[in-house]
C-alpha cells in the first residue's frame, strides 16, 4: 500500500512540474489487457468494467469504477473520491471531467515508451465518443512524459528493492561460478541458476526460457535466446545475461568469464585486452553519470573507447534503467 501511495504522490508532483492538469488512465477487463500504469495506481489488482483513474495537479485522486469494485479500491487508501456505477461509465466520466475542467488531459498513448502504452485503440475510441459533445475530446495529449518520469524516478522504497534484487543476482553469480564445471551444458548451467533463484525466494526478471542467457564459446547464439546443449569447454569465453525480480523489482546483469585451458594461469592476451577495454568503457561511463546528463552523452563515452581500441561499434545501447521490469523508465544510455 505504501509504495502505491508513494508513487501516486510522486505522479501528482510530476503533473505540477509538467503543467499537465490531469492524468487519466482508462481501462477495462484488465485481466486480459493490462495497462502497465496500473502497477503504480492500484498495485497488482484488476478492474473489470470500464474504469477511469484520475490524478490532477491540484491533488485530486478520483477513481470511477463499477460498484462491485468500489470496496477493493477504497482499501488501497489512495483515492480521495471513489465514484461507482451500475450501467455505464460514460455519463459519470463526462460529468467528472466537466467539473474538473482540465486544459490538458494526459492519456496513455506514447510514441516511444512501451510502458506508457496502455490505452487500447478501442478504449481511446470510447473515450473520444464519451467526450464528443464537450471540448475535452480535443484536449487529450500523450501521458508519455508523465509515465516516463514516474517509472524512471525511483522512490527510496523502489531503490531499496532494486538494490536487493542486484545483491541477490550477484550472489547467484558467485555461487554459479563456484559450481560450474567443464562438460556441463549451457542448459544445465541455466537450470542451476533457476534452482539458486528458487533458494533465494525470488522470481526471474524475464521469461525462464531466456533468463539466464548462457553462451559458451564462439558458436553459441548471443542475444535474447536461451541456453543450448553446447558444452562448456576449456578456452571458451562464457557469457551470461541474468536478472531476478525481488518484491516486484528487477535486476538485469551481464557477466563474462574465461575458462582456462590446461596449463594456463590467466586468460590469453587477446581475451584479457577485450575484457579490459569493456571494463574501462563501463567504468568511465559510470563515473560520468550524474543528474542532468543525457543518456546519449554517456553512451558516446563507452562507444568511443571501444572503437578507439580497434573494435567494431556495438549495435545496441550501453545500458538502461531498471524497475518493475528489466527495461524500465524513460532514460536510455544509447545512441540517438
| Cβ pair 134, 54 in contact under 8 A | no
Range in 36-45, 117-126, 128-137, 216-225 with the lowest mean pLDDT: 216-225
In the predicted structure, residue 197 carries a pLDDT above the cut 80: yes
In the predicted structure, residue 213 carries a pLDDT above the cut 80: yes
Residue 2's pLDDT is what? Answer: 85
Residue 149's pLDDT is what? Answer: 96
Reported as a pLDDT band with limits 50, 70 and 90, residue 209 is: very high
Domains, in order of start, for the chain: 2-152 (3.40.350.10), 154-267 (3.90.230.10), 270-336 (no CATH)
Nearest-angstrom CA–CA distance, 271 and 237: 8
Residue 224's pLDDT is what? Answer: 83
Q: Tell me the average pLDDT across 236-243.
A: 97
Q: Tell me the average pLDDT across 140-150.
A: 97
Residue 311's pLDDT is what? Answer: 97
Q: Tell me the average pLDDT across 303-317.
A: 96
Q: Tell me the average pLDDT across 84-113.
A: 97
In the predicted structure, residue 165 carries a pLDDT above the cut 80: yes
| Cβ pair 253, 186 in contact under 8 A | no
The three-point CA angle 7-1-86 to 5° equals: 95
Residue 255's pLDDT is what? Answer: 96
Alpha-carbon torsion angle 27, 32, 33, 35, nearest 10: 60
Residue 331's pLDDT is what? Answer: 87
| Cβ pair 30, 53 in contact under 8 A | no
Q: Tell me the average pLDDT across 47-64.
A: 98
Task: Give the distance, in angstroms, between the CA of residue 138 and the centroid of all CA atoms in the same chain.
Answer: 31
Q: What DSSP string runs through 94-112? A: HHHHHHH--S-EEES--SS
Other Cβ atoms less than 10 A from the Cβ of 134: the count is 13
Q: Tell me what the pLDDT averaged over the chain comes to.
A: 96
Other Cβ atoms less than 10 A from the Cβ of 278: the count is 18
Reported as a pLDDT band with limits 50, 70 and 90, residue 142 is: very high
What does pTM read for this prediction?
Answer: 0.91
Give the Å distances, CA to CA, from 233 to 184, 215, 230. 9, 11, 9
pLDDT, greater one: 128 or 336: 128
Model pLDDT for residues 245-264, shown as the tens digit of each residue: 999 999 999 999 999 999 99
In the predicted structure, residue 185 carries a pLDDT above the cut 80: yes
In the predicted structure, residue 287 carries a pLDDT above the cut 80: yes
Q: Give the 3-state secondary structure of residue 94.
A: helix
Amino acid at each position: 500500500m505504501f509504495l502505491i501511495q508513494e508513487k501516486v504522490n510522486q505522479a501528482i508532483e510530476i503533473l505540477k512540474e509538467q503543467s499537465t492538469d490531469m492524468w487519466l488512465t482508462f481501462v477495462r477487463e484488465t485481466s486480459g489487457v493490462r495497462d502497465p500504469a496500473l502497477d503504480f495506481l492500484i498495485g497488482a489488482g484488476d478492474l473489470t468494467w470500464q474504469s477511469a483513474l484520475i490524478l490532477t495537479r491540484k491533488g485530486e485522486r478520483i477513481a470511477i469504477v463499477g460498484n462491485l469494485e468500489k470496496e477493493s479500491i477504497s482499501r488501497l487508501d489512495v483515492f480521495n473520491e471513489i465514484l461507482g456505477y451500475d450501467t455505464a461509465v460514460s455519463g459519470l466520466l463526462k460529468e467528472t471531467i466537466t467539473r474538473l475542467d482540465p486544459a490538458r488531459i494526459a492519456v496513455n498513448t506514447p510514441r516511444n515508451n512501451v510502458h506508457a502504452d496502455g490505452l487500447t485503440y478501442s478504449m481511446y475510441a470510447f473515450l473520444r465518443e464519451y467526450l464528443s459533445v464537450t471540448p475535452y475530446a480535443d484536449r487529450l495529449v500523450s501521458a508519455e512524459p508523465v509515465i516516463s518520469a514516474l517509472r524512471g524516478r525511483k522512490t527510496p522504497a523502489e531503490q531499496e528493492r532494486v538494490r536487493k534484487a542486484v545483491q541477490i543476482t550477484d550472489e547467484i553469480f558467485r555461487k554459479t561460478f563456484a559450481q560450474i564445471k567443464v562438460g556441463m551444458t549451457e542448459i544445465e548451467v541455466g537450470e542451476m541458476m533457476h534452482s539458486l533463484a528458487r533458494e533465494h525466494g525470488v522470481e526471474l526478471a524475464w521469461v525462464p526460457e531466456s533468463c539466464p542467457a548462457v553462451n559458451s564459446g564462439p558458436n553459441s547464439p548471443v542475444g535474447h535466446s536461451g541456453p543450448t546443449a553446447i558444452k562448456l569447454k576449456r578456452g571458451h569465453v562464457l557469457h551470461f545475461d541474468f536478472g531476478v525480480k525481488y518484491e516486484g523489482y528487477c535486476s538485469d546483469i551481464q557477466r563474462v568469464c574465461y575458462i582456462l585451458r590446461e596449463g594456463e594461469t590467466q586468460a590469453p592476451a587477446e581475451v584479457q585486452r577485450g575484457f579490459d577495454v569493456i571494463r574501462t568503457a563501463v567504468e568511465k561511463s559510470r563515473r560520468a553519470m550524474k543528474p542532468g546528463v543525457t543518456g546519449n552523452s554517456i553512451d558516446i563515452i563507452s562507444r568511443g573507447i571501444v572503437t578507439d581500441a580497434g573494435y567494431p561499434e556495438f549495435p545496441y545501447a550501453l545500458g538502461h534503467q531498471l524497475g518493475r521490469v528489466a527495461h524500465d523508465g524513460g532514460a536510455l544510455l544509447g545512441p540517438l
